[in-house]
Amino acid sequence: MTLSEKIAIIHAQSKFSSPGVARLGIPGLWCTDGPHGIRAEVKWDEWDQAGWTNDSCMAFPTLTCLAATWNTEMSLLYGRSIGEEALYRNKQVLLGPGVNIYRTPLNGRNFEYMGEDPCLSATMVVPYIRGVQQNGVATCVKHFALNNQEDGRHVVNVTLTDRALYEIYLPAFKAAVQQGGSWSIMGAYNRIWGQYACHNHRLLVDILRGEWGFDGAVISDWGGVSNTDEAIRNGLDLEFGSWTDGLTEGRSNSYDYYYLANPYLKKIQNGEVGTQELDDKVRNVLRLIFRTSMNPNKGFGSLCSDAHAKAAREIAGEGIVLLKNDAVGKKKPAQPVLPITADKRTILVVGENAIKQMTVGGGSSSLKAKYEISPLQGIRERAALNNAEVRYVRGYVGDIGGEYNGVTTGQDLRDNRTPAQLTEEAVNAAKEADVVLFIGGLNKADHQDSESYDRLQYNLPYGQDELIGALSKANKNLAVVILSGNAYAMPWLKEVPALVQAWFNGSETGHALADILFGDVNPSGHLPFTIMPALEDYPAHQYGAEAYPGVNNEVEYKEDIFVGYRYADLYGQKKPLRYTADGREFSINPPKHKPLFAFGHGLSYTTFEVSNIRFQKSFITGKNSVAVSIANTGNRQGKEVLQLYVAPRKSGVVRPKKELKQFCKVELEPGQKAGVSFELKDDMFCYFDAEKHEWVLDKGTYDIYIGTSSANPETKIEYTVK
């Protein structure tokens, strides 16, 4: 390859593609968003859709939903299916999955990620990657690293301890690289230790290549590069999106002027830098090309197949979380609100999210879905089987937009009535109905669940809190269904007997929701994050603007390793937890409230009993494991998630009360019992020692809890690590 051929393949030639080497018959690379469907074709130089008529995709559930399945089989199915869609659309690099940790519920992009826990996200990301890459399509795991907020994402500088970095924020990326074998990774927009993530020496050279042995390509986030020298030296391989327009905005904005294009070439030509870094980058890019566009074994893929629709519905059905389901009414025995039984003759559906198309919007993950079954449509189809009547009223007006980069939903959601008129209509209709389903939450508009901006408030927007309150007074048979990728305040929780967390579930949204509401599918999703009562109850919001969203673009992770349930578990402790780490003083104030719903929580229409925790030793391998029995004690088939947490009794270092280390999903028929065992491994009992820069086995006595939520560790056993 000539020098200019080498320079050409390490940066973009269009919005989403990079060239190959035409003279040598080496094809280029086409990237696509990601992470929950294949983005519509865009124009060569612009974000706007190209207007093709053959590029509509299957929209899969967002990644919070996938994480909420706690089922690695769902993750593999997801990866395989979306990989097939990418392949059919001739894309070699899928820009996803995202595994940034859920640090604050205000982060507009949490819906693209896999929750607050490093073990859950690290476990769930691996099969997704394998599934995609089986197709000869690369995943591009994003956004490496510490892109935990959208506010100021292009400028903020994150400071944190090495311990928080290694224990909380890196494990999912490490698993993606080492176990998943991801062929590429995307640098984040933000800075860390004062240097931009896309050319951050410590992240990309020391950790990613040095410690983890990554042999794939590092791709910049679109427009994430800002310095040629750093981009040369600090491990970036492929530069994308530096300018939004390559042709019409003049010479200085064209692809030749990318940081890794002419400016790099000049430096080589005038002897300022050598070609060693260039050859490294070229090797990494060629390896990516060999693995994808030049892979002779790959097939042709498929788009919007029945199998993909089935996969989307199944994943959504396993990810929807039944948070609450109390019994109501005077009938004995009292019946829970859900599932909706055939004796419910009139079903009232209230709320904008029952009808709003959600696959358009939200930023780069926006899709042109071939179809999207709305909740109302799904409920109508299913209720028809019971000959039940479904009525719909709007209840509130939220976001009436429906366009993203030229893709439109075609919906006209305008409604000029006042909130008082809408509420009155809803309350009157609720009084007449046998059961009321409120379907609301967030949406994909700016400042909701959407890229580029964070949320402005923890409460649900558009007066939904008041409306839910009014509905709960009008009819006791009320189920609230929330579509969102984030937690939210629930001032109405006591008044609401049934609550369903239903995420954003793509094309099969309405079918999957109806499956759960009518009991055709028994809910088995569990929360991938903690839901606290108020924003102030989240650790990142304990320290004022310095910890979030930052002061003068500096964000300090003052809660350190106490993220999510690691923080919630400090409830009840009288004094702040004070310690020094990386030369900094930490003072973690315990939360004033318990979670409304704990990490890992999720109900079912059947009941399970976990018992008989015990140790086992394999005669064959000699390995130790801990086992439990689980029984389905109810009267319908169901799935349950067994979660194993380790809790050090005492430690010489500050440690979370307990940490998730393994989990597994079990399916049981009524009355069926099963034994489940988890192998005990040393790395379950380690913490990261920043001074030694290594994982250290923390010897001593532990409680090992196995349960069905972080707040409900049903059984425990003592274990000593010698």
Active site (catalytic) residues: 221
Contact 142, 125 (CB under 8 A): no
Question: CA 417 to CA 650: how far, in whole Å?
Answer: 61
DSSP character string of 303-371 = SS-HHHHHHHHHHHHHH-EEEEE-EESSSSSPEES-SPPTT--EEEEESGGGT---SS-SSTT---BS-
Alpha carbons 133 and 127: distance in angstroms, whole number? 10
Using an 8 Å Cβ cutoff, are 375 and 510 in contact?
Answer: yes
Closest to ligand BGC by CB, 112 vs 659, is 112
- To ligand BGC, the closest distance from the beta carbon of 141 in angstroms equals 11
CB of 687 to ligand BGC, least distance (A): 31
Sign, CA dihedral 398-409-44-219, equals: positive
Cis peptide preceding 34, ω within 30 of 0: yes
d(CA 366, CA 360): 5
Contacts of 45 (CB under 8 A, 6+ apart): 14, 15, 244, 245, 246, 247, 248
Answer yes or no whether residue 37 interacts with ligand BGC by CB under 6 A: no
- Told to check if 95 binds ligand BGC by CB under 6 A, we report yes
Q: Between residues 75 and 364, which has the closer beta carbon with respect to ligand BGC? A: 364
> What is the spatial distance between Cα 722 and Cα 705, in angstroms, rounded to a whole number?
19
34 binds ligand BGC (CB under 6 A): yes
Q: How far is the CB of 189 from ligand BGC (least distance, A)?
A: 7
Q: Of 317, 248, 310, which Cα lies nearest the Cα of 66?
A: 317
109 vs 356, which CB is nearer to ligand BGC? 109
Q: Which among 144, 140, 153 has a CA at the least distance from the CA of 34?
A: 140
Among residues 553 and 612, whose Cβ is nearest to ligand BGC?
553
What distance in Å separates the CA atoms of residue 28 and residue 38, rounded to the nearest whole number? 19
Which residue type occupies 444?
K
> If you search the block for the tokens 């909130």, which residue do you land on?
419
We find the least distance from the C-beta atom of residue 366 to ligand BGC, in angstroms, to be: 9
Rounded to a whole number of angstroms, the minimum distance from the CB of residue 222 to ligand BGC is 4
**Residue 33 sits in the site that holds ligand BGC (CB under 6 A):** yes
Smaller CB separation from ligand BGC, 159 or 364: 364
Tell me if 199 sits within 8 A of 225, measured CB to CB. Answer: yes
Show the site string, 96-135: x = touches ligand BGC by CB under 6 A, - = not. ----------------------------------------
CB 528 within 8 A of CB 120: yes
Which positions from 198 through 257 interact with ligand BGC, judged by CB under 6 A? 221-222
Least Å distance, CB 518 to ligand BGC, is 36
What CA–CA distance (Å, rounded) separates 483 from 516? Answer: 14
Determine, following the binding rule CB under 6 A, whether residue 89 of this chain makes contact with ligand BGC: no
Residue 183 in contact with ligand BGC, rule: CB under 6 A: no
Least Å distance, CB 31 to ligand BGC, is 7
The span from the CA of 587 to the CA of 334, in Å, is 47
The CA distance from 66 to 682, in Å, is 28
**Is 144 one of the binding residues for ligand BGC (CB under 6 A)?**
no
How many of the chain's residues bind ligand BGC (CB under 6 A)? 7
85 lines the binding site for ligand BGC (CB under 6 A): no
Q: 18: left (phi > 0), else alpha (psi -120 to 50), else beta?
A: beta
Under 8 Å between Cβ of 179 and 126: yes
The smaller minimum CB distance to ligand BGC, of residues 90 and 269, is found at 90
Question: Of 85, 87, 37, 86, which is closest to residue 359 (Cα–Cα)?
Answer: 37
Of 15 and 382, nearer to ligand BGC (C-beta) is 15
Q: Which residues contact 420 (CB under 8 A, 6 or more apart)?
A: none
Q: Which is nearer to ligand BGC, 185 or 479 (CB)?
A: 185
Q: How far apart are CA 149 and CA 108, in angstroms?
A: 7
Residue 560 in the binding site for ligand BGC (CB under 6 A): no
Residue type, 179: Q
Q: Closest separation between CB of residue 224 and ligand BGC, Å?
A: 8
Residue closer to ligand BGC (CB basis): 112 or 352 = 112
Q: Does 142 bind ligand BGC (CB under 6 A)?
A: yes
Select the residue interacting with ligand BGC from 359, 364, 509, 522 (CB under 6 A).
Answer: 364
CB of 673 to ligand BGC, least distance (A): 45
List the one residue out of 98, 146, 14 whose CA is nearest residue 555. Answer: 146
Q: Which is nearer to ligand BGC, 221 or 640 (CB)?
A: 221
Q: Least distance in Å: CB of 519 to ligand BGC?
A: 37
Q: How many angstroms separate the first and last alpha carbons of the chain?
A: 57
Q: What is the binding site for ligand BGC (CB under 6 A)?
A: 33-34, 95, 142, 221-222, 364
